[in-house]
Chains A and B, each alone.
Chain A
């Protein structure tokens, strides 16, 4: 077996040193009734080429986003990732290191995390960011728990514009707890939360651009929340939007959570992605997850360490701020490298390009007589079709066009959203893609 270094002679030599007759003897503390008493329905080892053939056959059964016109977004976006990013993250020193528990020999990872934290804080307009979470949805759930700890209140309102699977994740994380209220889906981008805030409210959670693509001006919400002592949690699922739009921190957010996938990370059928979590300075000790901080070594040289770990499970055990341990190190690295390559100039251009492609898409749809629900959007929008969206998306998929997400896939049993289709465009969306899609759509609807 190509991954196992020992020869039979090596094993014999080692057993002799140990004083055991066989490896089986080393399992003598295992009850005999369960040791080697089964033969699994699994194949034996295979050469690399055979495994590769097996996996390629499976990959070949998928329709890749790049195979044709593609308009699916809804929390995961198809962007170009520079070749440099994937080359760098495959370096052994990044790929095969672990959590930087020994800072003297982990300064690469630690300095990168410090850069990541700074980039995320600057991008979101917040004071401080942690070293990443699993993804945007779990980061949202952790932010809600964090706000409840900070305010010592229970009541939390989730906007109807929050991604339905983010909402469902928060609901699951808080199952059995009181005080969570999910507002009805708001595909028109209607203001849905401000009237609910009272002096028992811990936090309100609002997404912008929201699930339906509308841009939400959260500054009035921030004022309303702060007037009652509640916190504003802003969720961003398309982080590229911050290259063009006002940072949530500038609009009064107390905690910002985001999905960072769009920068540096491929779609990969939903994961692994990288959750971003940033907040005001005064809340830092209630943050979940790892934090990297600057310090000096014994010779006075600058260095970085994991810090404030008294919040974390390995020190605090049942009193920790969260049970999270592993974060998304390698995805955070991809994010940081890609954002370093972009810089302010590149990110601004990328964001403008995304918006321009979405404007072209919206214009083409409206030109075809379709109803686009959005007055405002970044790179994503909702269209109301004259008939249910699911069969149309299925029919277009058969023609090689991935036409967006029927809202009813995430909101089943709600007739009011049955005809709605959420569509995204990115810098990779061409005029030809848009023309092919709109033509086929007209054909299906005719």
Chain B
């Protein structure tokens, strides 16, 4: 049996491959709620009051609800057992490129649960929520200081919602200036899928821009694509190849000279917070994913929060609500005045996330945020330096920012794909990096360590990656194509899931299965 650098076996004994995977004693398969729950079980004690139908408009429910219940001990066990079938940042390194899986300080959670924040209604009189508006004011101040911008729209609920916000502000600005005919948005090939989806959502046609051989966008390529019909460019910086767009100031100038606006996707702000201010680069709008950069937890896929900072030119078009200071009092503007493009959501956005993000900012301070960005960049470059000889970096010869991109050319001739490689990482105790994104390189592997990983953890990760690369090249294909073998489940049949969609549990399916 071969061992890896930590003395752990790199492959299971041959016979164990045929049995189900994972340490079954601690991670038993867990039935569905609908298989263990019961209509008569409940984990809450409530009086059974009688109500008559006189004020129910004849709409009282007749059919049963088909919602099983669990008592408290049953519910705890069910959801604790399920939780153990998840990987998480707290359990190991999660180098998912472009997702910024950093440490989530628990003080943030504690603060968000103070009754003065958690037990406050969004439509209470404004005089009774001055502390909540104070949170919004202070968070806005931090975001504007860190970006050198004129305004911030806090309400977007996630990054893609923030993109919608920024692009709506751009659309409103063009319309206000009689430039409503501008119908094209420039988007580089390497962009997140949300960028073209957002532009299309607003009726824009998307024109793609090619990157140069170094993985960045040339100002010449932008100039060639600009015209009187272009409304905006959507550019991610640092870009999704982990590189700083070094001609960004020239690009911004060219875009402005052509009468267009510059939307910056701020998903990668973690690389530069406190070090570079996007406003100094000439951006007009940029969303900031509080759940990435400012560590509001990812929660298994949300909730996010995507405030958008705006330049002087776009500030008048910001959506409601926004706060307005009036002496000591903070007011809340809830109805669109001249210019504002409207409202993106009921209420005021993700207050619970504002509290967590502000707590995180205050804990770090300006000095700590800059150090975090610098450590994130240091970590990515360290990984690159130590993997460069075995892996293939498509855009070599320059420092990377907070993430490092490899392609799959180092796997050529091995019969191991990027997907196989990622699945083998699972067996070694790591969450895989982002795969097959960005689309501009073949078999992309995008690794973002974040500032939260210690040198010791990085070294273990690097040794594991090196060991895997050696093994792939040595022809030990089974370690990859059979992986994962030590996860709670083996590879899942995604084709079957899509061809015969089964999107909820049903009694009939259960009976049919039992009859088989």
Contacts and interface: CB of A to CB of B under 8 A. Distances in A.
Given A138-B344, A317-B193, A18 B385 contact: yes
Given A72-B121, A345-B39, A271 B157 contact: yes
Interface stretch (A179-187, A293-301, A431-439): A293-301
A424 B168 CA distance: 35
B124 A402 contact: yes
B86 A109 contact: yes
16 contacts: A5-B453, A33-B280, A64-B120, A100-B301, A101-B96, A102-B87, A105-B487, A169-B345, A215-B59, A244-B60, A294-B503, A313-B194, A341-B72, A344-B67, A402-B124, A412-B335
Given A272-B350, A295-B496, A308-B501, A72 B124 contact: yes
Nearest to A75: B346
B486 to A, nearest CB: 10
Nearest to B63: A250
Contacts of B266: none
A315 interface: yes
A15 interface: yes
Closest 10 CB pairs of A and B: A343-B69, A59-B116, A270-B347, A330-B299, A270-B122, A61-B131, A376-B57, A172-B342, A341-B43, A272-B303
Assign chain B's interface to a size class: 35 or more
Interface residues of A, number: 205
Interface in B341-392: 341-353, 355, 358-359, 361-368, 371-372, 374-375, 377-379, 381-382, 384-386
B46 interface: yes
B51 A5 contact: no
B62 to A, nearest CB: 7
A122 B193 contact: no
B258 interface: no
A266 B119 contact: yes
Most buried by A among B33, B138, B298: B33
Interface in B64-107: 64-70, 72, 75-76, 78-80, 82-91, 94, 96, 99, 101, 103-105, 107
A66 B112 CA distance: 16
A325 B84 contact: no
A166 to B, nearest CB: 6
Most buried by B among A82, A93, A104, A299: A104
Interface string A146-189: 00000000000000000101101101100111000000000000
Given A42-B145, A102-B431, A323 B90 contact: no
Given A43-B362, A99-B301, A107-B85, A62 B131 contact: yes
Contacts of A318: 196-197, 199-200, 206
Given A15-B378, A108-B84, A324-B160, 13 more contacts: A59-B131, A93-B90, A107-B85, A121-B504, A165-B343, A269-B132, A293-B502, A294-B497, A308-B501, A329-B298, A331-B303, A340-B33, A343-B43
Contacts of A138: 157, 161, 344-345
Interface string A249-292: 01000000000000000111111101000000000100000111
A66 B116 CA distance: 9
A299 B490 contact: yes
Most buried by B among A29, A86, A274: A29
Contacts of B363: 2-3, 45-46, 48, 51
Interface in B436-480: 437, 451-455
A108 B82 contact: yes
A135 interface: yes
Interface string B488-511: 111111101110011111100000
B109 A90 contact: yes
Contacts, number: 701
A51 B365 CA distance: 10
B228 to A, nearest CB: 20
B103 A3 contact: yes
B201 A58 contact: no
Nearest to A259: B346
Given A44-B366, A60-B116, A128 B504 contact: yes
B128 interface: yes
Interface in A108-157: 108-109, 111-112, 114-115, 117-119, 121-123, 128-129, 131-132, 134-138
B69 A104 contact: no
Contacts of B359: 51, 55
Interface string A392-420: 01100100001001000110100000000
A190 interface: no
B354 to A, nearest CB: 9
Contact of A271 (B56, B91, B127, B348): B348
Contacts of B25: none
A6 to B, nearest CB: 6
Interface in A67-92: 70, 72, 74-76, 78, 82, 84, 86-92
Contacts of B12: none
Contact of B123 (A215, A307, A356, A405): A405
Interface string A29-67: 111011111101111111010011011111111111110
Nearest to B158: A326
Contact of A42 (B21, B303, B365): B365
Nearest to A55: B111
Given A91-B80, A295-B496, A402 B345 contact: no
B454 A5 contact: yes
A359 interface: yes
Nearest to A44: B365
B304 interface: yes
Contacts of A364: none
Given A74-B123, A402-B121, A29 B492 contact: no
B319 A92 contact: no
B163 interface: yes
B142 interface: yes
A376 B201 CA distance: 39
Contact of A246 (B59, B116, B298, B368): B59
Given A246-B60, A269-B351, A55 B501 contact: no
Interface in A330-344: 330-331, 333, 336-337, 339-344
B39 A344 contact: yes
A440 interface: no
Given A76-B123, A134-B157, A293-B497, A105 B87 contact: yes
B249 A246 contact: no
Contacts of B163: 323
Contacts of B384: 18
A61 B134 contact: yes
Contacts of A343: 37-39, 41-43, 67-70
B258 to A, nearest CB: 21
A64 B361 CA distance: 25
A6 B72 contact: no
Interface stretch (A192-200, A224-232, A347-355): A347-355
A314 interface: yes
